[in-house]
Amino acid sequence: MTGRAEDTSGLALRPIGHLHTPFRARADCPRNGRQLSPAPLCHASVLPDYHAGLRALDGFSHLILLYWMHEAAPGALLFTPPFDAEPRGLFATRAPWRPNPIGLSVVRFEGFEDDARLRVRYLDCIDGTPLLDIKPYLPTTDAEPDAAMGWLAPHATGKPQD
């Protein structure tokens, strides 16, 4: 371990925009963004300071959105999911109450609504969630269609629809 790894100053985030979904409260959110069929249209709005960074997004069919799950209070590291009978470690789940509540969704990108707003599907977060990053989805490094799902295998929902 190097000295620089201990320098944790500056780990502060700045929202680059917000996510707009039909889900007004946590209780309205689906278990994942592919559970609803059809998946509702959502929007990612980007603040003016960051518009220049959106150039050349056209042509990507999918994006990775990172966001701050601002209503998720820190929670138990070990818990029994509602659809399960055994306690599972938080890092073996996608529960929102993480030490760093950074949400991740692989979304379908359907172009720009206007200069500031992207049309996307497969979000499962609440309306108004702060957006942290937009990354292009690259199947060459991000797609592992045959990955084994451990304890979640019998509970999986949300097969890709396209």
**Shortest distance, position 66 Cβ to a copy of itself, whole Å:** 6
**Shortest distance, position 148 Cβ to a copy of itself, whole Å:** 4
**Shortest distance, position 6 Cβ to a copy of itself, whole Å:** 9
Residues 32-91 that bind a copy of itself (CB under 8 A): 32-34, 45, 50, 52-62, 64, 66, 68, 70-71, 77-78, 86-91
Residues 82-141 that bind a copy of itself (CB under 8 A): 86-94, 98-100, 102, 104-106, 122, 127-130, 132-141
Q: CA dist 147 to 10, 88, 112, Å?
A: 35, 19, 32
Q: Do residues 127 and 22 touch, judged by C-beta distance below 8 A? A: yes
What's the farthest any 2 CA atoms get from each other in the chain?
Answer: 50
Q: Do residues 103 and 23 touch, judged by C-beta distance below 8 A? A: no
**Shortest distance, position 27 Cβ to a copy of itself, whole Å:** 15
Which of 65, 62, 64, 30 has its CA nearest to residue 162? 62
Binding-residue total with a copy of itself (CB under 8 A)? 86
Minimum CB distance to a copy of itself smaller for 71 or for 113: 71
Minimum CB distance to a copy of itself smaller for 40 or for 53: 53
The residues, ordered by sequence, that sit 6+ positions from 48 with a Cβ below 8 Å of its Cβ are 116
